[in-house]
Chain A
Amino acid sequence: MSRTIYFDNNATTQVAPEVTEAMLPFFTTYWGNPSSMHTFGGQVAKYVDKAREQVAALFNAKPSEIIFTSCGTESDNTAIWTALQTNPTKKHIVTTSVEHSAILQTAAFWERNGYRVTRLGVDEKGRLDMDEYAAALTPDTAIVSIMYANNEVGNIYPIPQMAEMAKERGILFHTDAVQAAGKVDIDLAKVPVDMLSISGHKLHAPKGVGMLFVRKGLIFRPFIRGGHQEAGRRAGTENVPYIVGLGTACDLARAHMEEENVRVAALRDRLEEGITANVPDCLVNGDREHRLPGTTNIAFRNIEGEAVLLMLDRLGICASSGSACTSGSLEPSHVLSAMKVPFKYAHSSTRFSLCRYNTQEEVDFAIENIPAVIKTLRELSPFKD
């Protein structure tokens, strides 16, 4: 296989060369502990501070509102934890049926421990219903957690509006912005969320670093205890190189977001139109009006997703699937199930997620080759109608 066409950027992204370069000195030269009294260690702290400023700038937040974590999942767990710990009398959590498992499983854990959980449904395009949302908010609600953008179909949810509705009722609002970070312009001076999670590896920083924004003034209980780091809000010696990498990645995103979004969306549209025009009986899952620039989720009638992915892999194309066979479970993804994608389509839903490093040539190669893959698999299928 000579080349790799990477259309799986919602799963993880390539570390930007600028990011790698910024990180390297913190392995080779500045490997001290930022908490040390001596100059050798202590000098490292200012680079952590700089990264904090870079991350804050991407969201128009204050550096003191940024807590570095080990991943998006930790940020999500922390947000729910602190909300429940600081509101001990409230026993209700509101979330959606299409969250990432980092939120879904955490909510399910609290449900087993005596909390009531409302999971908002979605329509066939994966959209939330604002009336259902409003009705779910009660005086007993400790926290609302709703993703900014969905990882499988790319839908962007109306977080500014939904956060406002929670605020009016005095309810804490958290958003998992792991997929939105660096792709959606989020101004936290205007969007009244209390907490927001991001993950490094979805925006060209490495895996294993994340961030939780906690709005100034919010009472906070740490999820990981032990040390004074991150102003006592997240114990554990800072992962300095990765934090520096996340800072650089946020800096790059801020500088290029506008231009990149236009370019990436054009490539995505070209891919989507190229496939849907040349493959009969396919449909695009999700809300095409409110969607991440790089994501398209296409379902092909009467075939199964793992087979599609493996055939694409032979061509060097990396994509992913909500099919049962690839998720290690036997059912199609919870997102497609919540959207009630017809079962003739649900098993073959294939996600292509593009980024700044993709090219038109790659997209054209995919458009040229994908129709034949689908045709071959359909010839093998007993279902023809």
Chain B
Amino acid sequence: MWNYSQKVQDFFLKPHNAGPLEDANAIGEVGSLACGDALKLYLKIDDKGVIQKASFETFGCASAIASSSILTDMVIGMHVDDALKITNADIANALDGLPREKMHCSVMGQEALEAAIRQWRGEPALPKTQEEGKLVCKCFNVTDLTIIKAIRENHLTTVDDITAFTKAGGACGSCRDEIAEILETELKRMNGELPDAAPAKSEARPEAAAKPQVTFGATPSMLTNLERMQKVMTAMQLIRPQLQADGGDVRLVDINGKTVTVELTGHCVGCPASKATLHQVIEQILRMQVEPDIVVKEAGD
């Protein structure tokens, strides 16, 4: 405990604004059980865009709980435009600092806040960097834009720094080379050796670009094969970000009548427990979105 400032300890042991918020009209969720920490941030925003109430639920270590809690204190009474200017460093500073390897907790707070406000504005409930970026770290679902943002806002200079702030590279390590490349490019940009261009949009994840509008609730009416296929494909676009948030991913392999064959990939592959759950989750969503009697099969079953 003893690496933590008094403030972190206080906010961990007696957190302010803990628990769900009944009348929330904006919710931001980041992280996942698989990844080891997760935050659900609830906001009540009035017509003028002022945050009236805020609360949180956190799965994570002491610094994750403290970061979430102090963030709710910070944003109450703020206009959303100002709230969006809060950086992870502001959160860490409000706690009188965090141990370096725990900085990702403050980043998680900032991202949840951004996700909640975007949801309230009718945008996807994801931090912008996650929506528009290209996935770099599959284990922790971190995009290039998230990494670049962390580098810029916190003046990071090593791959280990980036892991401490975003978790990227902290599990299997297979993405560390790519992180190093991003870092090198970014450092060159900051030194003026490269033009300060935003990373190419064309690298953005395709499913994010063609955000589909899906109506909820399956239509009981008969679907033609073509309609069904289109609906399945649209629904899959909704499912993937959720799985990716858990460090996994899914690929559509085949649609044969009402049998949809998928392949699970990413972080969750080796883990039979999560695989079973994922299978259920996907089937449930497809049954809701497409037809109630869809059957999901895994490739190779």
Contacts and interface: CB of A to CB of B under 8 A. Distances in A.
Interface of A: 302-307, 310-311, 313-314, 323-326, 328-332, 340, 342-344, 347, 379-383
Contacts of B102: 325
Contacts of A328: 101
A324 B102 CA distance: 11
A382 B37 contact: no
Contacts of B39: 382
Interface stretch (B55-63, B213-221, B283-291): B55-63
Interface in B60-114: 60-62, 64-65, 101-102
Interface residues of B, number: 34
28 contacts: A302-B59, A304-B36, A304-B37, A304-B59, A304-B61, A305-B61, A307-B12, A307-B60, A307-B62, A313-B1, A323-B61, A325-B102, A330-B140, A331-B170, A331-B171, A343-B34, A343-B271, A343-B273, A347-B36, A379-B19, A380-B19, A380-B58, A380-B65, A381-B58, A382-B39, A382-B59, A383-B33, A383-B38
A166 B280 CA distance: 44
Contacts of B13: 311, 314
B138 interface: no
Contacts of B33: 302, 343-344, 347, 383
A325 B36 contact: yes
Contacts of A347: 33, 36, 59
Which DSSP category, helix, strand, loop or mixed, fits chain B's interface? mixed
A332 B271 CA distance: 13
Contacts of B273: 340, 342-344
A72 B232 CA distance: 57
B1 to A, nearest CB: 5
Contacts of B140: 330
B18 interface: yes
B101 A323 contact: no
B55 to A, nearest CB: 11
Interface string B133-158: 00000001000000000000000000
A221 to B, nearest CB: 34
B57 to A, nearest CB: 4
Interface in B225-279: 270-274
- Closest CB pairs A-B (n = 9): A330-B170, A382-B57, A306-B61, A382-B40, A342-B273, A325-B61, A381-B59, A324-B36, A343-B34
A313 B12 CA distance: 13
Contacts of B171: 330-331
B49 interface: no
B130 interface: no
Given A330-B140, A330-B171, A380-B15, A307 B61 contact: yes
Nearest to B272: A340
B112 to A, nearest CB: 10
A343 B33 CA distance: 7
Given A307-B12, A382-B39, A325 B163 contact: no
B29 interface: yes
| Best-buried of B61, B163, B270 by chain A (most CB within 10 Å) | B61
A330 B57 contact: no
B107 to A, nearest CB: 13
